[in-house]
Structure formats: C-alpha cells, structure tokens
Amino acid sequence: MSNKVKLSVKRIADLRPVDDKNPGFLIDADTPNLYVRIRPRGKPAFLFVGSMAGKAVNLVIGNTQTWTIPAAQEEARRMRTLIDRGIHPKLEREDREAETAKAIAAKSKVEITVGQVWEDYIARGVGKKGRPWAPTYLRSLKSAMHAGGEMFPRCGDKRTVQGPLFVARDIPVGEFDDDALADILGDELDRIGERFRGEPGVNPPGYAVVNKAAESLSGMFRWASREREYKSLINGNPARSPTVQDNLPSKTGVRRLDFVEIVQLEKFFEGLSTLPNRTMAGYLTGLLITGARRQELAALKWSDIDFDLKKLTIADKSTQTLHRTREIPLAPWLESVIRSTPKIDNNQYVFAAPRSKLGYVQDARKSLAPVLEHAKIKHLTPHGLRRTFSLVGEAARCPSGAVEQIMGHSVSSMEEHYKPRRIDALREELVRLEEFVREKAKLPALELAEV
C-alpha cells in the first residue's frame, strides 16, 4: 500500500490502479483513517479505514468528484469521533438515511395529490390480465377528473361538465379517506338528482357515471398500493369502504328494465323506417338483431366483413377472448342492413359519421327518441336493444348457449363452455331469430334480391 502523502487534486487525478485486478490507494498524511482508492475501471473515492472492537471498519465517504478534500477530511474525523464514543459509523449512517427517508415520505404524503396518482395510473396502469386499457374505458377514466367548461362542437353555447372526481384532484393522497370521498360523491349525486325530471324509481343517467367513477377510483388505489413510490402513502381503499359503498345508488335502478316487448316490435320498426338518417336506422336495427354492445357494432369496419364466408369480426370487451374480438354470423337480414348502409368516401366504418371525431356513430339516443315516441315505449336505451336480442332469442326458442356466444357473454353451462358452436351452427340460430323478429314485426319476408 502507498505511503502517506498530503492529498491534492493533482495527486488524486494521477492515481492509478496497481494492475487490472488490484486497486490503487493514497493515504492522507494530515487526517488519520482517510484513504483515496481507485479500482480498475472505476473512479477515485474517499474511504474511511479504521477499526472498532478489534474489527475492521471500512466505509466509502463519497466520490472525489463530489466531495472536496477538506469535506472528506472533516467526515473522516467525525467517523473517528463516533468510534471513540462507541458508535459504529455504519449504523449511524443507516439511522440518518432512515430518518431522511421518513421525512421525504412525510413530505410526499402531503405534496402528492390524488390527481397526480390518477394521471400516473392512466399512463402506467393496465387492464385485466395485463391488457392495455380499452378505448372506451380509457375515455371514462380521463373524464372522471375532467375539469369541464370546454365548448361542445356544433352545440351552440353548451359546455362540458366537470367529472364526478374533479374535486378530489388536489387533495393529498395520504389525507384522502372514505369520509372525503363520500362527501364528494354525495354532492355529485345531489346535483344530478336535482336536475332529473324523469320517472320516479328510475335512476338518473348520471348515477351510473358516479358508480363507474367510484369503481375506477378503487382500481387506482389497488394499483397504487402495489407501486413502490405510492404504497407507503396508501392507507386502505376509500372507495371500497362501507361509508362510500352504502351511499352509492343502486345499480339495479334501470337494470334489466329497458327492452322492446314482442308486441311492440311492429311499432318499433315502423318508427325506425321513418328515420331520415338511414345509417342510424341501420345501426339501431343491427343492435337488435345481433345483440352486440353499442361500441362493438359502431366500430365495425368494411374490412371486418367477409361476404363470401358470411361472417363478420367485431370488437369484444369480454375477458373470455384473448384478442378482444369475436366472429358472428352474417345472416340475411343483417347483410341486407349492411349493404343498404350509405358508404362514405375515405371512411372505413360501416356506420360512418363524418362529423364524429372517431369516424363512426357515437350517441344513438337522439335518433332513438322519435322511434320510442312512435312505439309508445317509455324508456329504452341502445343497450336495451342488446337485452331485447336476448329475450327475443329465448322467445324464438334458440339455444341459450348460441345466443350467449353471439352476444359475447360468458356461457352459463359447462357443456357450452367446452363445446362452442361453429359459425355455421350459429348462423342457423341467428336466421331463426331474424325470421321470428320479422314475423312479429309484420315485416315482409326477406327476398334474395335484397341481400
């Protein structure tokens, strides 16, 4: 090992390892226990080299590019003093680092807000089984804490409203508890209820948005509790607390209540035939005779249709499918509807909407309203047409497994789960269902010329 020398910047810069395997050292002549070491393929560092209770004490003080020589000398003297007092420098350092980490965590608990964690959750979180967020779910996440106040395109002076969780954005995540969330959601429900002028006993449409926001917030807290930078800040899941859950509106307020009765089919299709927007009329017809979810059918592309093999591929939100798509038969009536839908140049979607940002139809409720008025149906959502498909399939005596497979539902029986039907077998059932609907709606038999 080298002799003691007076440390200088030049001597440290000139220090080299002994060889490719052994480090080089300098020993400070002015400060006991202070060394400079350089390892092969490494950088010079200040070291404290001493002993305590007959055992060696070797600790790195720091890099020579970060520590000055006087600062390193002062630190070496401090460590020597600790040893003289019976305190091991390594344990003392660990205690200081723990206190610093505790102080940082306490500061973070105050400074990191729910909004910051939410934005990180949207950017880094994933859906079930590690899949990316579905586009519709991602939009609902972003809107839940949306500030609102933006102008609606082509809607005059109407502006977007703030999301149900917007008020929670600036609350420190460490201070956010179930009482705070219950107050926020309670105020939002009161605001929605005051504006609602619908039927008694039926949940206002905005209640579903609040329920969805609470579920999404619960997902954020589950995710944050597993992330290294957030888990120390998370104290339980406020969204799952009985304080919050017991005050959320029942999800059964409008569930399984809106569908088209068999005796209403005639008037319903009479109303559809009078719609000036033939694309929307075809879209609503398609929802009823396929049982597809709104966005699944709306996003159907011309390239997804195989007219030769009489089938089409649509998006599938079900977790039962690996690629989030499923194939359904192209039965005669559905094919007729698709072929009669107006095509729009430079638009890949079947149910195209040129003014929509996404390129396809979005909200069918406005077009559905005059149809419901004509058929004297009090309440029906586009999703109610999917429910109608299921009920009509039962009335037409189609096997429940076939109906569930076309709809993209998890099949209810073990036999159906292990023996899914081929597309040809599904087509037979869908044709039977179409014929049943046309018969009850008193529509003329579908001629080959229409297909």
Q: What is the pLDDT of residues 393-402, one digit of tens each?
A: 999 999 988 9
Higher local confidence (pLDDT), 347 or 421: 347
Closest-CA residue to 87 (of 45, 47, 46, 59): 59
- Edge to edge, the sheet with strand 325-329 lists 305-306, 311-315, 325-329
Please give the DSSP secondary-structure letter assigned to residue 18: S
Single-letter residue type at 162: Q
- Whether 222 has a pLDDT exceeding 50, the answer reads yes
DSSP track, 237-306? -GGGSHHHHTTSPPTTSSTTT----GGGHHHHHHHHHT-S-HHHHHHHHHHHHH---HHHHHT-BGGGEE
Tracing tokens 């390193």 back to the chain, one arrives at: 72
Write the pLDDT tens digit of every residue in 75-115. 999 999 999 999 999 998 888 888 877 766 666 555 788 89
- Whether 153 has a pLDDT exceeding 70, the answer reads no
Kindly report whether the global pTM for this prediction surpasses the value 0.75: no
Cα dihedral 347/351/354/357 (nearest 10): -90
Q: For residue 198, name the pLDDT band (cuts at 50, 70, 90).
A: low
Write the pLDDT tens digit of every residue in 301-341. 999 999 999 999 998 765 444 457 889 999 999 999 999 99
Please state which of the ranges 23-27, 89-93, 107-111, 414-418 shows the lowest mean pLDDT: 414-418
**Averaged pLDDT for residues 370-378:** 93
Please state which of the ranges 28-37, 120-129, 397-406, 412-421 shows the lowest mean pLDDT: 412-421
Beta bridge partners of residue 172, listed in sequence order: 113
Please give the DSSP secondary-structure letter assigned to residue 76: H
Cβ neighbours of residue 245 closer than 8 Å, sequence gap 6 or more: 214
DSSP track, 376-387? T-S---HHHHHH
> How far are the Cα atoms of 17, 41, 42, 70, 96 from residue 21, in angstroms, in the given order?
8, 10, 11, 30, 34
Contact 141, 216 (CB under 8 A): yes
Name the 3-class secondary structure at 70.
helix
- Whether 450 has a pLDDT exceeding 60, the answer reads no
Q: Which two tokens stand for residue 241?
A: 């607390």
Mean pLDDT for all residues in the chain: 84
Contact 243, 179 (CB under 8 A): yes
Closest-CA residue to 52 (of 89, 100, 17, 24): 89
Q: Please tell me the predicted confidence (pLDDT) of residue 186.
A: 82
